[in-house]
Structure 1
């Protein structure tokens, strides 16, 4: 890991990296691709396209023609994490796209899929250990790089 970090820092290339490039830098080779069930892959693409979506598990299951219980079981089997946990992580991660902007916190909470600002604040504190305002106040000068694809790693 230290050697990979030194290599990445020495390259001074701040462009988003493809997952294979990160694997190569860290492990010395690209990791084998996992074949996800196409139904779960479809749901994951939809989540990546709209991280603030409030679509329920039932609606997602219906989108891929599965019962809710089968969908939730298959989702966890394929991804290794429950749907609720992944959605919460993606929502909290989506916040970082706005970390250096001046926004109304209550509006931002609703825009990125939280039901209210209290839930937003508690969830962000659980993931990052900081209140949303602390993240925003300490991030005014950060440069945020947004990749063009879901496979790009985006520094935030």
Structure 2
């Protein structure tokens, strides 16, 4: 469902806000253009303002979106299967309300937040919706809940002119705290996001971070909100989705992202997004 293609515009931010939204808050959607920069999209960087992070305007399939603290895709769908997001997700109905079904019951609303690793079904009721994934470390794992009115107003007012500042306003309104940056873990994330097909192992990751394996795994989860394995899976799914958005065949995209075969890729995609890869490709508008 996530299909960024290319970065094409520099985005100006004041230095203080740029530092607050540095690399650990960036949602990485594609491989870097420059190995020396790590997993950054191709942008003109102002290092004095951005430090280790960057934000960019991305060209998505059939739409122009921005990446900052959020990653966004517009879909038209009916109903998903049971699935669990690897990252917290905001769903905003453009035409009608949505509903989320979980083990705790149903949640209705114009905008709903679903925390990571929470089994649920989304019913779009046939309308167009915005699906906004937050950075991996964000979310409280409480399930699903309708967004407070201030957050809904941000979406209503800014969804058609979404910017880095819009994403920042939404994340701040939701009250998600930013973890302290950990350069050792950032180096591992760089390697994973750059080439998920390599399927970086724990031992090699520990060498990159210069940490003992169990220490690396513990700090990785503290920094990203995901286990090492889950983060690799998330990076691989995003990479495959990017290739699909560029017109690559589904099976080739899955293999290039490091999945063992088409069946493995399809299972992982469906478990994360609630749709098959074909359905995910076809529902993007």
TM-score by length of 1: 0.71
Q: 1:49 and 2:198 equivalent? A: no
Could you tell me how far 1:76 is from its partner in structure 2? Answer: 1.4
Q: 1:80 and 2:228 equivalent? A: no
Are the counterparts in 2 of residues 110 and 116 from structure 1 also a CA contact under 8 Å?
yes
Paired residues in the alignment total 135
Q: 1:94 and 2:239 equivalent? A: yes
Greater fraction strand: 2
Are the counterparts in 1 of residues 202 and 213 from structure 2 also a CA contact under 8 Å?
yes
Residue matched to 1:152: none
Are the counterparts in 1 of residues 221 and 228 from structure 2 also a CA contact under 8 Å?
yes
Residue matched to 1:2: 152
| Larger RCO, structure (CA 8 Å, separation 6 or more) | 1
More off after superposition, 125-134 vs 41-50? 41-50
Measured in 2, the distance between the counterparts of 1:28 and 1:73 equals 28
Greater fraction helix: 1
**Local SS of the residue matching 2:161:** coil
Alpha-carbon distance change, 110 to 35 in structure 1, aligned in 2, over 3 angstroms? same
Alpha-carbon RMSD = 2.6
Are the counterparts in 2 of residues 40 and 78 from structure 1 also a CA contact under 8 Å?
yes
Could you tell me how far 1:45 is from its partner in structure 2? Answer: 2.4
TM-score by length of 2: 0.42
**Structure 1 regions of 5+ residues with no counterpart?**
143-156
**Structure 2 regions of 5+ residues with no counterpart?**
1-150
Alpha-carbon distance change, 108 to 28 in structure 1, aligned in 2, over 3 angstroms? closer
Alpha-carbon distance change, 126 to 83 in structure 1, aligned in 2, over 3 angstroms? same
